[in-house]
Each structure stands twice: as C-alpha cells, then as structure tokens.
Chains A and B, each alone.
Chain A
C-alpha cells in the first residue's frame, strides 16, 4: 500500500535552513507528481510546491518562491523540500502528498513533520 513518511522537522531560528524528506513506497515514485502542503497551527491548508512526475516542472506558492526548493531522488524514492531563509510565518506541519492520475489533487498524504521557526 502507498506510504509517505516525512522527516526532518524541528525547531530552528529565523533566517536558518532546514531540509525535509518524504520517503515514498507502495507505488511507482517516478510516475506521479508530488506536492508539499503545509498547515500552520490551528489554521487551514496551504499548498507549497509541486514537482511533476518526470521532474521537468517545479512550481511554488508565492509565499515560498525563491526560498524553498523541491527536489527528489528517484533511486531512494524520496522527495525533499529545502527551506532557506526561514521565517516565523513558515511555522507549520508540512505534509507531502502524492498526486492522483488527474490534475493537482492529492490522493495520499503523509502524517506530516512539524517545523517551528522561533527565536
């Protein structure tokens, strides 16, 4: 069955960097788009970034463009989110999500990893 397991979250200071990982299993990782979605404590969901199934396209939310980079290692079936110049407002639970067969919907989600940016 499909499993997505995020890791790499923690408490960091503003202006620093962090890299999140999402280990995928149970499906052909290279055949599906993969997304990052975040949720600030007590708030709603916010789409963050996507990498297309073939890795050729990467898109970002305006709030993170230029600071965050999505990437993947097909040999390890792992998705990454490199987060630089972190801000207090980046504090959130970060979920990785597998795209379905269609356009930009998320049929499987990980359990999330919590990132706290605080001085």
Chain B
C-alpha cells in the first residue's frame, strides 16, 4: 500500500490552467477506473471534487476535470482562481482498500 506519487507543489497565475499528476501502479490507478480527487483547505476536512476518474459531484465547478492514462491520473484546474489555493489529493481503489496520493500544494501567484 504505497502512496501514489504527486508533485509536491504546482503554481499558476489567475486564469491559467494547471495539471496535477498522480502516478500509481497497475494494482491501483492502472487497474481500476476508480480514481477520485479531493481539495483540502488549511484546517478543513477534504472535499470531493472528482470521482470515477472524470465525474463531477453535484455542486462542483466544471473548471476541475480529471483523466487517466495507464498508471497515471491527472487533475486539471482551468481558469485558476484565488480560492483554488489548497492541497489536492488523488485516491485510487486498490482492491478492497484505498490508497491516497502524497498531496500537492497549489499556489495561485
């Protein structure tokens, strides 16, 4: 159950698009279309923003989009806004358990 690999930090200017990668193995990300993404602001609980690789929960902005290729999933934030500054975590089903990514801090310049 090794954590999925994410970049420690990603930054962008308001209005730009950024992409966060999430690399696992064929036992997790590559083996199932069950990748989810969570946004966490400091001192707050995580919030679901993408599930099943590329689906949006009700109420989540479509500026967030997800994709997957092989053992790597990606989250793209389009039209970056100040309120997008937060930590982001991917998560994958791994056959009767889940594994989270290492987390990425997004900074809006």
The interface of chain A, by Cβ under 8 A from chain B, is 35, 37, 44-47, 50, 57, 59-63, 95, 100, 102-107, 109-112
Does B32 lie within 8 Å of A103, measured CB to CB?
A: yes
**Cβ distance A29 to chain B, nearest Cβ, rounded Å:** 19
With beta carbons under 8 angstroms apart, the residue of A45, A63, A107, A110 that contacts B57 is: A107
Within 8 A of A (CB), among B37-78: 38, 40, 45-48, 51-52, 57
**Cβ distance B28 to chain A, nearest Cβ, rounded Å:** 11
Residues on B with C-beta less than 8 A from A60 are 97
Does B34 lie within 8 Å of A46, measured CB to CB?
A: no
| Cα(A61)–Cα(B96), bound, Å | 10
Known: A44-B101, A50-B98, A95-B46. 12 other contacts (CB 8 A): A37-B46, A44-B89, A45-B40, A45-B103, A61-B97, A102-B34, A102-B51, A105-B34, A105-B48, A105-B52, A106-B91, A112-B45
**Cβ distance B58 to chain A, nearest Cβ, rounded Å:** 9
The interface of chain B, by Cβ under 8 A from chain A, is 1, 3, 32, 34, 36, 38, 40, 45-48, 51-52, 57, 89, 91, 93, 96-103
With beta carbons under 8 angstroms apart, the residue of A44, A62, A112 that contacts B100 is: A44
What are 6 of the A-B contact pairs (CB < 8 Å)? A37-B100, A60-B97, A95-B45, A103-B34, A105-B91, A109-B45
| Cα(A32)–Cα(B70), bound, Å | 29
Does B36 lie within 8 Å of A47, measured CB to CB?
A: no
With beta carbons under 8 angstroms apart, the residue of B32, B45, B47, B99 that contacts A47 is: B99
Does A62 lie within 8 Å of B1, measured CB to CB?
A: yes
